[in-house]
């Protein structure tokens, strides 16, 4: 059970996108931009290969919040910045820290990383915990 005092960390979320993850997410989300699903195209535009959808990575940040707080009703707002490129077959770690809490509503700062790259920065969640 997570503690909701300022400075406390919510449980870390770790997940490793397999090599076909972006194909499944493209179908599920409707975002078929070839930089996510076509290795040759991605390389042709200067990327190291196919990259993760930013909104999939944001969904991992959202999942870390709702799994900690107890379901879909708890997440009232989430804002993120997309920066570094996420890649396949490398573990993604979401860390979340309670910044403040008022009337049972926590403001949580979060980010998602792959090794040293922060792929979701400056995430702020509004989470009902009371």
Residues that bind other proteins (CB under 8 A): 15, 21, 24-25, 27-31, 54-56, 58-60, 62-63, 66-67, 71-73, 75-82, 126
Min dist. Cβ of residue 73 to other proteins (A): 6
* CB closer to other proteins, 7 vs 48: 48
* CB closer to other proteins, 80 vs 110: 80
Min dist. Cβ of residue 117 to other proteins (A): 16
Residues 6+ apart with CB under 8 A from 10: 2, 64, 65, 68, 96, 97, 98, 108, 110
Please tell me the distance from the alpha carbon of residue 110 to that of residue 62, in angstroms, as a whole number. 10
DSSP one-letter string for 47-69 = -SS-B--HHHHHHHHHHHHHHHH
Min dist. Cβ of residue 123 to other proteins (A): 10
In Å, how far from its chain's centre is CA 84?
12
Min dist. Cβ of residue 39 to other proteins (A): 18
Residues 6+ apart with CB under 8 A from 5: 98, 101
* CB closer to other proteins, 5 vs 90: 90
* CB closer to other proteins, 51 vs 98: 51
């Amino acid at each position: 059970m997570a503690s909701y005092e300022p400075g406390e960390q919510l449980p870390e979320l770790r997940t490793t996108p397999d090599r076909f993850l972006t194909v499944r997410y493209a179908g599920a989300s409707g975002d078929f931009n070839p930089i996510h699903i076509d290795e040759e195209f991605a390389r042709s535009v200067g990327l190291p290969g196919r990259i993760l959808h930013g909104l999939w990575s944001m969904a991992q940040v959202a999942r870390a919040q709702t799994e900690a707080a107890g379901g879909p009703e708890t997440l009232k707002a989430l804002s993120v910045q997309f920066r570094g490129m996420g890649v396949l077959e490398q573990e993604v770690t979401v860390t979340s820290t309670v910044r403040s809490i008022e009337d049972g509503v926590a403001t949580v700062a979060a980010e998602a990383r792959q090794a040293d790259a922060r792929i979701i920065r400056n995430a702020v969640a509004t989470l009902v915990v009371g």
